Structure 1
Amino acid sequence: MKKDEVPQDSSNLESAKLKELCYAVDEDGNYTTVNSSGWDPKTIALNQAIEEINARIANAKNRVLKKETSPIEYYMEFHKMDLSILASYVGIWSWRIKRHFKPTVFNKLSEKTLQKYADTFDVSMEQLKDITKHGN
C-alpha cells in the first residue's frame, strides 16, 4: 500500500486520540511508517469482539447471581483470561480451577486459595466472594 493510501477511517482509536502505526511504501518505493486513525473493516471486527467479550462477562455474572457458577468464572471473564492463563497466574492446575467454578466447591475453599484468586484479580476477599460489590 502506498503512503497516501493508508486508511484514515474513523474508529475507536480516534476517541482515545491514538494512532495505529502502519507500514507503507513512499514515493521512492521504500518502506516507511505512517500513522492511521483506523480502517472500517478492522473497526467492525474489533467492535464485534468487544461485544462478544461483554456478552461473556454478562453471562458469567448472571450465572454467578443464579448460583450456577462461582465468582471465579466471572472474574476470569472480566479480566479476559482463559483457564490456562488463570492457572498460570494463581499456580493451580486448570482442572482444579474448573472445579472451583462449582459454587459448592468454591464455598469450601481455604482462605489461602481464595487470597490467591483475590490477588490475581486485584479485588478484596469481600469482592471475590460477592460480585455485586465489584465496582466494574
Structure 2
Amino acid sequence: MKKDEVPQDKSALGKVTKEVVYATDSKGNYTTELSTGWDVKATALDVAWQDVEARVANARRQVQDGKASPILFFMEYRLMDVPTLAAYTGFWQWQVKRHLKPDVFKKLSESKLQKYAEALNIKLADFDTLTIYES
C-alpha cells in the first residue's frame, strides 16, 4: 500500500492511539505511517467487544442465579481466564476453579478474598454488589 493510501477511518481506538503501519513512499521504499484506523479492523474489534460484553452479562446472570461465585463475573470483566487469575493470586488453577462455586466462595477467608480483590482491582464489598468502578 502506498503512503497516501493508508486508511484513516474512525475506530474505537482512534481517540486513544494510532497504529503504525508499513507503506511504500514515492520511491517504492518501505516506510512507516500512522493510521487512525481501518473500517475492517474496527468492525472486527467491535464484534470482539460485543462477545466480551455478552460473556460479562452471562457471568453476572450466573452469579445472580446462584450458579457461580462473583469471582467469575470480575474475572470475565477483567478479561482473565483461570490460569491468569491463578498466576495473579498465587492459587493453584484447581483452587480457582473450586472458588468459582458459590458454596465454596461463601466459605473463603477474608485473606483469600483480599487476594482476589487485589488481582481483580476491586474492593471486598464489590463481591457482594458486583459493582465496577472505572479509574
CA RMSD of aligned residues (A): 1.5
Shift of 1:17: 5.5
Structure 1 counterpart of 2:8, which letter?
Answer: Q
> Structure 1 21/135 Cα, relative in aligned 2: closer, same or farther at 3 Å?
same
Aligned equivalents of 2:38, 2:49: Cα separation in 1: 16
Residue 116 (1) aligns with residue 115 (2): yes
Q: Could you tell me which residue of structure 2 aligns to residue 94 of structure 1? A: 93
| SS of equivalent to 2:33 | strand
Q: Could you tell me which residue of structure 2 aligns to residue 37 of structure 1? A: 36
Structure 1 counterpart of 2:21, which letter?
Answer: C
Q: Could you tell me which residue of structure 1 aligns to residue 129 of structure 2? A: 131
Shift of 1:123: 1.5
Q: Could you tell me which residue of structure 1 aligns to residue 7 of structure 2? A: 7
Query: Residues 50-75 of structure 1, C-alpha deviation per residue, up to 9 Å, x if partnerless?
Result: 00001100110111111110000001
Structure 1 counterpart of 2:84, which letter?
Answer: I
> Structure 1 11/64 Cα, relative in aligned 2: closer, same or farther at 3 Å?
same
Question: Does the aligned pair in 1 maintain the 2:70–2:130 contact within 8 Å?
Answer: no
Q: After TM superposition, what 4+ stretches of structure 1 lie above 6 angstroms from structure 2?
A: none
TM superposition score normalised by structure 2? 0.91
Shift of 1:32: 1.2
TM superposition score normalised by structure 1? 0.91
Q: Could you tell me which residue of structure 2 aligns to residue 55 of structure 1? A: 54
More helix by percentage: 1
Alignment size in residue pairs: 134
Question: Does the aligned pair in 2 maintain the 1:19–1:35 contact within 8 Å?
Answer: yes
Shift of 1:2: 1.4
Structure 2 residues without counterparts, runs of 5 or longer: none
| SS of equivalent to 1:47 | helix
Aligned equivalents of 1:4, 1:119: Cα separation in 2: 47
Residue correspondence of structure 1 range 55-94 to structure 2 within 5 A: 55-94=54-93
